[in-house]
Structure 1
Amino acid sequence: MTSTTRTAALPADQRERLMRLGRTVSVAAGARMFEEGRRADRFWVIRTGTVTLDLRVPGRRAAVIESLGHGDLVGWSWHFPPHRWQLGAEALSPVRAWEFDAAAVRALCAEDAAFGRAVAGWVGGVVAHRLHAARVRLLDLYGPCGSGSPG
C-alpha cells in the first residue's frame, strides 16, 4: 500500500475531524463487508486484520484485486454518486475497524470546504491506486502475457 491509500494522506487536523465521526466495529473472518452494485452508505478504516477487494468476472470466480491492512480505506464508492459499490469486500481475517456513516461525512464535506477538499484528495488518490491495481491484477489473471509489470 502507498501512503495515499491510508488516512495518513489526510492532513492531521482533517484526519482528526474525520476520526471523530468513526465508531469501532469488528468483522468476522469470511464476512462480506459489501457487494458490488449495492448501495454504498458507509466506509471503514482498518485498525487490525486484512480485507480483500474483489471484482466480479462473468463466468468465473470473483477476482481478488487487492488486500488491505492497517490504516487503509475500505470503500470509496460512498463518495461519488450514485453511491453504489464498484467492488466487493471480504474480511480475510478478523478485522477491527473504524466505521463511518457516509452521509455524515459527505455532509461535513459540504459544510467545510477545506475538509471536503482534503477528503476528496484522499479518496481520489485511493480510486487511482485501486484502478491501477485492478488493471494489473486482471492482466495478470487473464492477459496473454501477464501485466508486463517490470520485475
Structure 2
Amino acid sequence: MPAEHRERLLSLAHEVVYPGFTRLFEEGGRADRFWVVRTGTVALDIHVPGRGQAVVETIGTGGLVGWSWLCPPHEWHLGAETRSRVEAWEFDAAAVRDICAAHPEFGLTLVTLVAETIGRRLRATRTRLLDLYGPQQGAPRP
C-alpha cells in the first residue's frame, strides 16, 4: 500500500491489546470492525456441525483479521480467537467504508488488498477442510 494510503488508513486506527484465548467474533455476527495484527496470533475457525470449531488459518504479525466488514450484509463468515497475547490496530468498518467512498483511489487500493486476503483465506480454508474431512491417503475410493 502506498505510504499516503497507509497513513490515511492508520489515521483511523486505534491500538488494542487482547489476552490469549479471547474470542474476537463469532461466525454470523455483525462485522463492524477489523484488525491488523502487530504482535501475536489469531486463529480463524469455522463451525462444523457435530464437531465444533475447526481452525482453518492462523494469522500473525502484519495479517488482516476480518474482511466481512467490507461486503454486505456485513456478517462474519468465520470466527476468530486470539491464540496468544495480541497487539493490533483496530478499525471501525463504517469509518473505513466512508473514507473509501470519499477517496476512490484509496478505496480501490484497500479493496484490492482485501480481495487478495479473501482469495488466500478461501484457499487456506479449502485446504484445511480437505485435510480434516477429505479422503485419506491410501484409503479405497468408492
What is the TM-score with the length of structure 2 in the denominator? 0.94
Provide the residue aligned with 1:5 in structure 2. none
Provide the residue aligned with 2:104 in structure 1. 113
1:59 aligns with 2:50: yes
Q: State how far apart, in whole Å, the 2-side matches of 1:11 and 1:94 are.
A: 29
Q: Deviations over 1:81-108 (max 9, x none)?
A: 0000000000000100000000000000
Using the TM superposition, give the Cα deviation of residue 14 of structure 1 relative to its aligned residue in structure 2, in angstroms: 1.0
Task: Please identify which structure carries the higher strand content.
Answer: 2
Provide the residue aligned with 2:13 in structure 1. 22
Q: Which one of the candidate residues 72, 80, 84 is aligned to 1:89? A: 80
Q: Deviations over 1:96-127 (max 9, x none)?
A: 00000000000000000001100110000000
Give identity over the alignment, percent.
58
Q: Deviations over 1:121-141 (max 9, x none)?
A: 000000000000000000000
Structure showing greater Rg? 2
Q: Which one of the candidate residues 32, 36, 47 is aligned to 1:45? A: 36
Provide the residue aligned with 1:143 in structure 2. 134
Using the TM superposition, give the Cα deviation of residue 16 of structure 1 relative to its aligned residue in structure 2, in angstroms: 1.6
1:35 aligns with 2:15: no
Range with bigger deviation, 86-95 or 11-20: 11-20
Using the TM superposition, give the Cα deviation of residue 61 of structure 1 relative to its aligned residue in structure 2, in angstroms: 2.0
Letter matched to residue 101 of structure 2: A
Provide the residue aligned with 2:116 in structure 1. 125
SS in 2 for 1:23: strand
Q: State how far apart, in whole Å, the 1-side matches of 2:44 and 2:30 are.
A: 16
SS in 2 for 1:135: helix
Matched positions, count: 137
Q: State how far apart, in whole Å, the 2-side matches of 1:68 and 1:118 are.
A: 21
Q: Which one of the candidate residues 67, 74, 99 is aligned to 2:65? A: 74
Q: State how far apart, in whole Å, the 2-side matches of 1:75 and 1:88 are.
A: 9
Structure 1 residue runs of 4 or more that deviate by more than 6 Å after TM superposition: none
Gaps of 5+ in 1: 1-9, 147-151
Gaps of 5+ in 2: 138-142
